[in-house]
Amino acid sequence: MNQEKVIVIDFGGQYNQLVARRVRECNVYCEIYSYKTDIEQIKAMNPKGIILTGGPNSCYEEGAPTYTKELFELGIPVLGLCYGAQLMMHVLGGKVEKAPVREYGKTEVFVDTTSPLFTDVTPTTICWMSHFDYISKTAPGFSIVAHTADCPVATAENREKNLYAIQFHPEVLHTQEGTKMLYNFVRGVCGCAGTWRMDSFVENTIKEIREKVGDGKVLLALSGGVDSSVAAGLLSRAIGKQLTCVFVDHGLLRKDEGDEVEAVFGPNGQFDLNFIRVNAQERYYGKLAGVTEPEQKRKIIGEEFIRVFEEEAKKIGAVDFLAQGTIYPDVVESGLGGESAVIKSHHNVGGLPEYVDFKEIIEPLRNLFKDEVRKAGLELGIPEKLVFRQPFPGPGLGIRIIGEVTAEKVRIVQDADAIYREEIAKAGLDRSIGQYFAALTNMRSVGVMGDERTYDYAVALRAVNTVDFMTAEAAEIPFEVLQTVMSRIINEVRGVNRVFYDLTSKPPGTIEFE
């Protein structure tokens, strides 16, 4: 890609993907690389700017992540954030120590608005601080351009060399003018023109796909989720009927979802492609009969998906490319990760079968963040309903039905969930809550309805706010909305006589129930 580019060097902080997302919001393309990346590789990418992220270490300790001094001598503007700022000072001859006062949270910061970093920023503004160490002495050639009550060096600059060190986190939204500061760095200091736009991404990617695929055949497993749908849209616009999409309806989708996917991508939809829908409900319910253990359910659903897909692929015969809807966070996490424990197996992240006969993988979305995938989807004319769809796990309702999965339970949870989603949308909350859904507990209890004793299931409602799905908090849904949902579910969904709202955050809970 012939894009102007900013490189984010990752020192292991929790907001690192956010840094990259904010830079892209300034219409500047950027990529994240580990601090272990060789300087020659960085140079070869010819970046317009470099950003060093935060991280959990103390830069003066032995073995702490570091970077060669040469990085600051390339003539490329560098911005250090938090750990990155401390490291810049440490490497260039300043001093970093344990702070007498640990700063955490929203903090008033006084900035020198003559600094190019603070153009149009108000002189007293709010920033997000989170640090144990602090810069006690700036490196030679640097001057202080921001401070707080407890932090003498909230920002230091060497304007001549275009080196900037910010102790706080401009990437976090609590820093009220943080995006402006990052904009000032990438568009002002680095001089990026801001050419990263989704309309040109779509156009360029279509061209690239055509060049790469030639007259070859492409096979894509379409799940109906945002990523595979946008991948299908792009490929279809690029190569039309050379693309075949296999959509496996495993009977664990949300209410009417299979038909909605078919309406968009099927023969009567707006895209030119070969669409194969496999109705595998009975097959799945058969395999899942009597199975209650969550990981076993996940495994069965995942493996069965591969079996079905493989059977369809065999009918199609050899293809040249297998397309996947991999997105940038998957790439970053698989490149840098490996240390976090596997809490649940996410079958559709790990990739698809070896058994399908293809020569190469094609991943048209591998450079995009989720919000960019959505924008690309809108550019392609994919309906908003699909583009802004809730995240939905690969194993589907299979992990939202606690205990054994049966056709009857699937019907109950589909109907309850549809009511919940409808009422959330009616209350205007659908875009503001991170993720929300109904699940079916394995609990039955006694109730009374129309003078009759009932012994029915309890539905659990879940709604969480989350930035990255790694942590989450229960969303505060107005009580009236919950009451309406409860009364509609009990009245309209046969087999349910109780509704719970789940207050658990993550951790200790997970977002899904299994």
Q: Which residues are catalytic?
A: 82, 169, 171
- Rounded distance between C-alpha atoms, residue 116 and residue 435, angstroms: 39
Q: Does 435 bind ligand XMP (CB under 6 A)?
A: yes
Using alpha carbons, list the distances in angstroms from residue 446 to 68, 410, 439, 458, 490.
68, 21, 19, 10, 13
Near ligand XMP by CB under 6 A: residue from 391, 403, 447, 495: 391
Query: What b/e sequence results for 115-129 when a residue is b if at least 16 CB atoms lie within 10 Å of its CB, and e otherwise?
Result: bebbeebeeebebbb
Q: Which region, judged by CB under 6 A, interacts with ligand XMP, from 74-82, 111-119, 199-207, 386-394?
A: 386-394
Q: Which residue has the tokens 């904009």?
A: 183
Binding mask 292-331 for ligand XMP (x = CB under 6 A): ----------------------------------------
Provide CB contacts within 8 A for 22, sequence distance 6+.
170, 171, 178, 179, 182
Q: Does 25 bind ligand XMP (CB under 6 A)?
A: no
Q: Does 370 bind ligand XMP (CB under 6 A)?
A: no
Provide CB contacts within 8 A for 99, sequence distance 6+.
131, 132, 133, 134, 150, 151
Q: Which region, judged by CB under 6 A, interacts with ligand XMP, from 285-293, 320-328, 391-399, 480-488?
A: 391-399
- Rounded distance between C-alpha atoms, residue 51 and residue 53, angstroms: 6
Give the footprint of ligand XMP on residues 40-59 (CB under 6 A). Answer: none
Q: What is the DSSP string of 392-435?
A: --TTGGGGTB-S---HHHHHHHHHHHHHHHHHHHHTT-TTTSSE
Give whichever of 157 and 227 is closer to ligand XMP, judged by the CB atom: 227
- Give me the least distance between CB of 437 and ligand XMP, in Å please: 8
Near ligand XMP by CB under 6 A: residue from 234, 393, 489, 496: 393
Give whichever of 202 and 222 is closer to ligand XMP, judged by the CB atom: 222
Query: Among candidates 199, 277, 280, 271, which has minimal Cα distance to 236?
Result: 271
Give the footprint of ligand XMP on residues 451-490 (CB under 6 A). Answer: 469
Give the footprint of ligand XMP on residues 341-360 (CB under 6 A). Answer: 344, 346-348
- Rounded distance between C-alpha atoms, residue 70 and residue 74, angstroms: 7
- Give me the least distance between CB of 504 and ligand XMP, in Å please: 11
Give whichever of 307 and 346 is closer to ligand XMP, judged by the CB atom: 346
- Rounded distance between C-alpha atoms, residue 131 and residue 104, angstroms: 7
Give whichever of 141 and 391 is closer to ligand XMP, judged by the CB atom: 391
- Give me the least distance between CB of 439 and ligand XMP, in Å please: 11
Q: Which region, judged by CB under 6 A, interacts with ligand XMP, from 81-89, 213-221, 455-463, 506-514?
A: 506-514
Give whichever of 167 and 326 is closer to ligand XMP, judged by the CB atom: 326
Task: Give the H/E segment covering residue 242.
Answer: none
Phi-psi region of 105 (alpha: psi -120 to 50; beta: other; left: phi over 0): left
Q: Are 308 and 301 in contact (CB under 8 A)?
A: no
Residue numbers at the binding site for ligand XMP (CB under 6 A): 344, 346-348, 391, 393-395, 435, 469, 506, 510-512
